[in-house]
A and B are shown apart, each in its own frame.
Chain A
């Protein structure tokens, strides 16, 4: 059995490579860097999330990050853009609850499940939007998970978690989400 399987594998790999080539030529010729698109998606998400009490117009809306990775670098491109009348600021913070006082949203690149669980508890008492990367981000505690499966960027929403922190999402977001927990 082992030998037959071994003989079949190269053929399968070759087939896979051919498929890959075919798949590509059919796709759009232009491609983009995943982090750039994720950053732009995150910026757009912020436009359609409703916070209960907005800071005074003209103030800052702080999106906090916990580490300085490639996605954060891409996010900084959107700094100072307008989000619902406020100026977007990207702020690097520590994971202690006090550090998050000023944040309207927090974005976690690759965090441990413990970290997301803790952020959820921080969000219990306040309107803090928790964004995280990865296909399983909702299962680990994120309110919005951003992932790159399927060659395109998509996002999932846990509306129940958002509501329990007093946050809302526009119908447009709910329509575009790949999966939705209500």
Chain B
């Protein structure tokens, strides 16, 4: 263990060894006078959950009720309900597009995934895992928050286009056990158990475990249909399995969370020129993360939060080539330590400051041929970095609020990066809110881009600089009546030193380079209306345009539309959730894919009848055949068809 890590650990132990205070009985509190209540020292104050929901941005909140009502199956599908957000996938991973940006072949490196405020992107690929490969299960989420725009001023690297924060349930929220089983197309089945409560001594606990298996369907690929060689069908090569487990404990002002997940995906696409329809073509992601946080009060109006995070990530993949199996083996271990202070003693201000220390003792990338054994890559590295930030939320005058922040990040072998952000919010009357925001964010080149090189297909580039984005945006919210709301937003951003993969003409090897600038702008508008007895309809439209040298950007739709409708159907004793997604055509590497409209429909029993509650979801309702652009690693496939109509039947029980 490094000296730094050891010191941080000791700090944690010292903090832990403080005398445990006794917990006041609830009955005692409920009889107290107001003056006395305001003097009671409390634990578990809301600091953990606060920052994102109050971010000076157009935040989308997706509560668990919406996740159930619309039958969202993973984080990506839930986030896709937000204006201007879209997903694509290549039957290995899911990718999130924001503001027109989602380049095939890139991982989700420009979105930051937080779980209860803790960074979950791994330090090797920098990837925010949002599909079934995610480190957490969708059932564990109490609320999903999505903040579009640059977030590096508070959270450091990766927060270029947005931050997704998954707030997990607490035991007091659950107070019981939820069991669910579901069956779905492609011989899929899933079981999930989530349980939580609060003991008399004040220990709040949540435990969850879920397992999923899907055999997958036979998939036809015209690109591989060569008479005499192959019929173009990948026979049951699309299987997927995962197991995820979580334990979250809150006691006094301590909170600890452990999550573990393993997802294995059979890859049917013969990517990287592997053999089509061959067995043993898989990718496996494992993640294990421990997060310990403590909040406390140092003085009146001065709160602190300490956080220690340990993460472990593994990626294993087998690539069956003719006569030889090639294997990727990737391991990463990292520690993060964070200290934050919040001061509210200055009237009209809310000051927040913090430091973060990152240490990556192991960043291992190996690639070898299994038999006969040939080592192509064996790169072992370590890294560290630090960040410091400060921000102030200032209520200048009634109806006026500003939020100004800046963060400086350093990492080994790179010059410090400064990420400022400023927002001005004007709320002249109940019906209207206007926001102006500007900010800068960055992403440092990751270990994979700098050091992955087998020198057969790809070589590393240790000299890569960070990429930067500068964003300006304005938005207005108008709520003319209590049942009607309109939103309108405009943004403009510039990316420079974008890290892009290209072929080096000198040796024909793929390499990551800092490339030219690109600039983009877009409009987003949304509306919400409440009607009838509990019906709600939300719709959004987004127009986005990116210009870069070399023509239209890949996988960047100019227009996106969404419509979400939900409400009760008393005749059926059920609720209905209808989710329509429309997307205009997108460029692929070689041509284009057409625009499409797809819809998901979910019916859920409104109330439990006897034992359990049933739900039925139909995904891709009209059985639309639509395709996503994919990266060069899938050649000769240029665009990949998404799943056809799928169904899912669920049963859940609350105890």
> Is B324 in the interface zone, CB < 8 Å from A?
no
Assess the B412–A2 pair: CB atoms within 8 A: yes
Give 7 closest A-B pairs by Cβ, nearest first. Answer: A151-B297, A148-B45, A2-B410, A70-B172, A10-B7, A17-B11, A121-B482
Assess the A33–B44 pair: CB atoms within 8 A: yes
Assess the A16–B46 pair: CB atoms within 8 A: no
- Given the known inter-chain contacts A9-B357, A16-B339, please indicate yes or no for A41 contacting B38, CB distance below 8 A: yes
Instruction: Give bound CA distance, A37 to B32, whole Å.
Output: 9
B568 closest partner in A (C-beta)? A94
Instruction: Give bound CA distance, A122 to B479, whole Å.
Output: 11
Instruction: Give bound CA distance, A45 to B173, whole Å.
Output: 23
Assess the A21–B54 pair: CB atoms within 8 A: no
- Which residues of chain A are near B173, meaning CB under 8 Å? 68-70, 73
Instruction: Give bound CA distance, A124 to B425, whole Å.
Output: 22
* Selected contact of B23 from candidates A33, A98, A140, CB within 8 Å: A33
Instruction: Give bound CA distance, A39 to B42, whole Å.
Output: 12
**Which segment, of B129-137, B257-265, B382-390, B500-508, faces chain A?**
B382-390
> Is A56 in the interface zone, CB < 8 Å from B?
no
- Which residues of chain A are near B7, meaning CB under 8 Å? 10-11, 13-14
- Chain A residues engaging chain B, CB cutoff 8 angstroms: 1-2, 5-7, 9-14, 16-21, 23-25, 27-37, 39-41, 43-45, 47-48, 67-70, 73-74, 77-78, 94-99, 110-114, 117-122, 124, 133-136, 139-141, 147-154, 160-161, 172, 176, 178-179, 181
* Selected contact of B50 from candidates A16, A31, A134, A154, CB within 8 Å: A134
- Given the known inter-chain contacts A117-B485, A121-B431, A172-B34, please indicate yes or no for A30 contacting B344, CB distance below 8 A: no
Interface size of B by CB at 8 A reads 102
Interface residue SS majority, chain B: mixed
CB interface residues, B 23-72, toward A, < 8 Å: 23-24, 26, 29-30, 32-35, 37-47, 49-50, 53-54, 59-61, 63, 65
A149 closest partner in B (C-beta)? B344
In the assembled complex, how far is the CB of residue A148 from the closest CB belonging to chain B, in whole angstroms?
Answer: 3
- Given the known inter-chain contacts A139-B425, A139-B427, please indicate yes or no for A32 contacting B29, CB distance below 8 A: yes
> Is B170 in the interface zone, CB < 8 Å from A?
yes
Interface centre among B45, B59, B412 (most CB of A within 10 A): B45
Instruction: Give bound CA distance, A69 to B23, whole Å.
Output: 21
Assess the B395–A114 pair: CB atoms within 8 A: no
* Selected contact of B143 from candidates A13, A110, A150, CB within 8 Å: A110
Interface centre among A12, A16, A44 (most CB of B within 10 A): A16
- Chain B residues engaging chain A, CB cutoff 8 angstroms: 3-4, 7-8, 10-12, 14-15, 17-19, 21-24, 26, 29-30, 32-35, 37-47, 49-50, 53-54, 59-61, 63, 65, 142-143, 170, 172-173, 175, 202, 252-253, 294, 296-304, 306, 337, 339, 342, 344-345, 347-348, 350, 355, 357, 384-386, 388, 393, 395, 398, 401, 410-412, 414, 416, 425, 427, 430-431, 433, 477, 479, 481-483, 485, 528, 530, 533-534, 536
* Selected contact of B11 from candidates A13, A33, A67, A153, CB within 8 Å: A13
B412 closest partner in A (C-beta)? A2
In the assembled complex, how far is the CB of residue A47 from the closest CB belonging to chain B, in whole angstroms?
Answer: 8
- Which residues of chain B are near A120, meaning CB under 8 Å? 430
A118 closest partner in B (C-beta)? B482
In the assembled complex, how far is the CB of residue B606 from the closest CB belonging to chain A, in whole angstroms?
Answer: 12
- Which residues of chain A are near B536, meaning CB under 8 Å? 95-96
Instruction: Give bound CA distance, A141 to B54, whole Å.
Output: 12
Instruction: Give bound CA distance, A113 to B11, whole Å.
Output: 38
Assess the A31–B30 pair: CB atoms within 8 A: no
Interface residue SS majority, chain A: helix
- Given the known inter-chain contacts A31-B24, A151-B296, A153-B42, please indicate yes or no for A21 contacting B14, CB distance below 8 A: yes
B58 closest partner in A (C-beta)? A113
In the assembled complex, how far is the CB of residue B27 from the closest CB belonging to chain A, in whole angstroms?
Answer: 8
Instruction: Give bound CA distance, A83 to B629, whole Å.
Output: 62
Assess the A30–B355 pair: CB atoms within 8 A: no
- Which residues of chain A are near B29, meaning CB under 8 Å? 32, 36-37, 40
- Which residues of chain B are near A149, meaning CB under 8 Å? 45, 47, 301, 303, 342, 344, 350
Instruction: Give bound CA distance, A15 to B288, whole Å.
Output: 29
In the assembled complex, how far is the CB of residue B480 from the closest CB belonging to chain A, in whole angstroms?
Answer: 8
- Which residues of chain B are near A25, meaning CB under 8 Å? 18-19
- Given the known inter-chain contacts A27-B41, A141-B430, please indicate yes or no for A151 contacting B303, CB distance below 8 A: yes
* Selected contact of A6 from candidates B344, B410, B427, CB within 8 Å: B410
Assess the A121–B479 pair: CB atoms within 8 A: yes
Instruction: Give bound CA distance, A11 to B411, whole Å.
Output: 19
Assess the A153–B53 pair: CB atoms within 8 A: no
- Which residues of chain A are near B142, meaning CB under 8 Å? 69
* Contacts beyond the supplied A11-B7, A30-B22, A31-B41: 5 A-B pairs with Cβ under 8 Å: A17-B15, A30-B24, A33-B26, A44-B37, A150-B303
- Which residues of chain A are near B355, meaning CB under 8 Å? 9, 12-13
A179 closest partner in B (C-beta)? B347
In the assembled complex, how far is the CB of residue B398 from the closest CB belonging to chain A, in whole angstroms?
Answer: 6
Instruction: Give bound CA distance, A154 to B26, whole Å.
Output: 18
* Selected contact of A17 from candidates B14, B33, B395, CB within 8 Å: B14
- Which residues of chain B are near A14, meaning CB under 8 Å? 7-8, 10-11, 14
- Given the known inter-chain contacts A2-B416, A148-B46, please indicate yes or no for A35 contacting B41, CB distance below 8 A: no
- Which residues of chain A are near B427, meaning CB under 8 Å? 139
- Which residues of chain B are near A45, meaning CB under 8 Å? 34
- Given the known inter-chain contacts A24-B296, A33-B26, A134-B50, please indicate yes or no for A176 contacting B481, CB distance below 8 A: no
Could you write out 10 A-B pairs with CB less than 8 Å apart? A6-B385, A9-B386, A13-B11, A13-B355, A43-B30, A70-B170, A70-B172, A111-B61, A124-B430, A149-B47
